[in-house]
Structures are given as structure tokens and as C-alpha cells.
Structure 1
Amino acid sequence: MSTDATAQPLDDKTRAAITRHLVDVPAVNGRQYRSSFNALLQDARHAAGRDASGRLVGLSATLWLGATAYLVLLDQVGKTFTLIDFSIDQTRPAIHQALTCFTSLDSASIEALYALRCSLAHDYSLASPSGHPERTHLFRLAHDEHTPLISFPQEQWPIDYSVIQGHETLVNLRKIGDLVEGVVDRLRREHASDRLRLYPRLSIVEFETRYGLYYQINT
């Protein structure tokens, strides 16, 4: 099933809610809002050796954790945002929605990143023995300037743990960070251009309750 995001202009309340979600804003009358989007982005950057603007500043000992956080952030993006002219395929996973909508990544790479996200988030594994061939991978990880985001093997892994050489899918963790930082930048640009929309049927109340927290601060 596919649906198109509404072409109607955002009302002021929804626009303000999206702004609070994407960019930390000052407290109002002693009440501070902090979105899990910004909290997770901050944690992903810290774990991946990046500064507060997303720029890579050093080699981190927690690269796997950083990549996992970045991939989980894509899950949230796919469940919360779409573009005004994007046709949603509700049969696809959330990370697929996010990457299809906000990047130009090809389908095979999207499926591989979804498989890696599941493997890392579920049990911190580098094997994805899936019933879906496009999600069946034995991953190996890189973190350098030159390796592509994803390099596929000549032959797909046959889900045999004694068969490794020539069947490994290589993923560059540095470029996962670059990819997601690009999505974050695009979300903010599309919001500024009034093209970003909440995922259909996601109310402001659910949006802010599921993905954020209001709390009192001392003034």
C-alpha cells in the first residue's frame, strides 16, 4: 500500500513541533523539550568520533556502537518524516522509507544496511542469515576514507559459517556516519523549505510523546 504525503501547508503548531524535534530550542516558561532525535544524534556522533556538528575529528573505540546508533536514527526518521511529494510504501521497513525518501541510495544497498542494522541492534552480530536473499549477508567492517559505503561479494553468502572467503559484504562505518549526517542535513533543509511532513496518521501528541520529553529546568 502506498500513500502520498499531504500537499497542504503545515499549521503553525505542527511546524513548531518539527522545529523542536530537529533542532534544540530554548526552554519556554521553565519547560525544556528534548527530542530523542537530537539525543540519539548526539550519542551517535560521540560514539563515532565526531564533533557536535557531525564532523569527524578522530578514531573512536566505539565505532560499532556509533554505527548502530546512526542506523537506529534512520529507523526513527522513517517512522516520523516524509516529503510532500513522496509516495510511501507501507510494506517496507522504516529504514527503507528513510533512505528511499532522503537519499539516492540504490535498493540493494538499502537492503544491506537494513540487514546490518538488524544484526547490530538485535545481538551485535555481523551475520544476517535471512529468509530474504537481499538481506542475507556476512558483514565485514571498514573505517577509512577510500572504501565505498558498501562493497558486495561476487557470490552471496550461502548461510554456511564455514564458508567465508569471497562471500563477505564490506561496509564502511565512516561512510554510514556520512550518509546519516547527510539525511539529518536534508531533513533540516526540507523543513526550512516547507517540504517536510510528519508521517501520515502520526499526530503531534504521539510524535512528541514517543520521541521526546518535556522537563522543568531551573531559571
Structure 2
Amino acid sequence: MALRKFHEIHFSSVNQEELVYLHLHASEQRITKDYAVISTLAVTNREVRSAISNLYSKNILPIMGMVAIIEQLGEAYSRSDLPAYPENGHSSFKKALYYFGGQDADNEFTKTLYGLRNGILHNASFFSPSKGNQSNYIFTYNHDAQNVLTPPSIPWDGDFNNIEEGHFTEINPQKLLDLTQKCIEEAGNANTNGYLNITLRGGMNELIFRYFKWVKNED
């Protein structure tokens, strides 16, 4: 279905495909007949892409933004062309990597990236302690790495008195940005092709109130 021109319709009349499109792409105000709207996901994505190349904002904030984007996609959506993500392993972050990042459910890559998510979002830390079936992780950047994550050569037992160079899991922030963009793009493709589902309990209304900001147009 072709998207209608947003300036010709009321925000309250957008259909699901149009609303998801706005969620993924409205980083600047999209003017409908009654409201100017922006999406927190799209704004975060725009700010991540700007911050990652700025000397004074490239180290922590972009990683926080990227993992938040992935988490938001997993909180909001699933897709009907893939087997359902297992409910007993529910995690919005891991769910997004399964549906939109091309990862098997709860594989080693997903577990490791989830460890980064826990450390960086909870307290801006590059350390994530063992929890459940998750290992101990301590992360560092490697901008020249070929992959998003490079596993440690030596598993770390979580003892801060026993840390060696081989214990670090390496992250390439640019590769993580590429993965984040892939997740957004795959969600967009699923939306266009009609197999994206909103999984929020409140459906479209919850999507609007959770992830959009809007200002009424002046008469």
C-alpha cells in the first residue's frame, strides 16, 4: 500500500503501516493536518549518527543510543514470516536481534551483546557480571575489528584482581551502528511487505504514546 501524503491527513487517521513508517523515520517534524510529530526512535538514530563522529560525544552516548534503538524495536514489533521468538527467553533486546538482526534466538553473539546492553544502559559501564546463563564480560573498543564483537581469547571469571588483556571482549562501534541500521531497515521492509506486527499490549495507541512526541499545528 502506498503511503498517503502526511500533510493531507490527520494524525489520528494514520493506518498501521503509516504509523510504523513515522516511528522508524520521523527524525524531524512530519506535518500532518493537525499535528507535527517526531519519533523518539528516529530522533535517537539521527543523534547517534551525529555523535559517533564527534570527538566529545563518540565514546558512550552512541552505544547507549544504539542498544536503546534495538531494544525499542524488540519491545514494539515482531514479524509473522519467521517462527515466533521463544516466550521463555523473553528479552526485547534479544527479540529484536532475532527478528531484525539475523541472529538465532539467544546465540552467543546475542548473549554477549546483551551483556554490553546491560552494562552500558544500567550505569554507563563496560562491565557486565554473570547472571543466569550469561557469562562475565568486560568490554573494550577496537575500531579496526572486522566484526561487531570479537570474543575474548580467555574467558573471564569476574575477578577484578585477575584481569588480563585476553579477557576483554572487543567492540567495533561502527559495525554496531551498521547492525542497528540493518535492524531498522529490516523492520521497515517487514512493514512495507505486510508482515510486521505491533506487539505492544495497547497496539497503535501505545506506540503513539510511548514513542512519539507531537505538537498541535497553529491555526
- Structure 1 and Structure 2 fold alike (TM over 0.5): yes
Match of 1:76 in 2: 72
Deviates more, 1:167-176 or 1:85-94: 85-94
Q: CA offsets, 1:7-46, max 9 Å, x none?
A: xxxxx72222212212227312241111111111112111
1:78–1:94 contact (8 Å) kept in structure 2:
yes
Q: CA offsets, 1:43-77, max 9 Å, x none?
A: 2111112xxxxxxxx77742321011001111100
Aligned residues: 200
Q: Are 1:137 and 2:133 counterparts?
A: no
Quickly say closer, same or farther: Cα 1:190–1:59, change in 2 above 3 A. Answer: farther
Question: Aligned AA for 1:17?
Answer: L
TM-score of the superposed pair, with normalisation by structure 2: 0.82
Gaps of 5+ in 2: 1-13
2:100–2:184 contact (8 Å) kept in structure 1:
no
Match of 1:186 in 2: 186
Rounded to whole Å, the distance in 1 between the matches of 2:170 and 2:22 is 37
- Please show how residues 133-212 of structure 1 align to structure 2 within 5 Å: 133-144=133-144, 146-165=145-164, 166-199=166-199, 201-212=201-212
Match of 1:5 in 2: none
Deviates more, 1:39-48 or 1:58-67: 58-67
Question: Aligned AA for 1:46?
Answer: S
Quickly say closer, same or farther: Cα 1:206–1:128, change in 2 above 3 A. Answer: same
- Please show how residues 102-121 of structure 1 align to structure 2 within 5 Å: 102-105=100-103, 107-121=107-121
Q: Are 1:40 and 2:38 counterparts?
A: no
Match of 1:53 in 2: none
Larger RCO: 1 or 2 (CA < 8 Å, sep 6+): 1
Question: Aligned AA for 1:22?
Answer: L
TM-score of the superposed pair, with normalisation by structure 1: 0.82
Runs of 4+ that moved beyond 6 A: none
Q: CA offsets, 1:133-170, max 9 Å, x none?
A: 534211111223x4321111233211101222121111
Quickly say closer, same or farther: Cα 1:143–1:59, change in 2 above 3 A. Answer: farther
Quickly say closer, same or farther: Cα 1:44–1:135, change in 2 above 3 A. Answer: farther
Quickly say closer, same or farther: Cα 1:46–1:218, change in 2 above 3 A. Answer: farther
Rounded to whole Å, the distance in 1 between the matches of 2:181 and 2:77 is 16
1:187–1:196 contact (8 Å) kept in structure 2:
yes
Rounded to whole Å, the distance in 1 between the matches of 2:103 and 2:148 is 10
Question: Aligned AA for 1:102?
Answer: F
Match of 2:16 in 1: 14
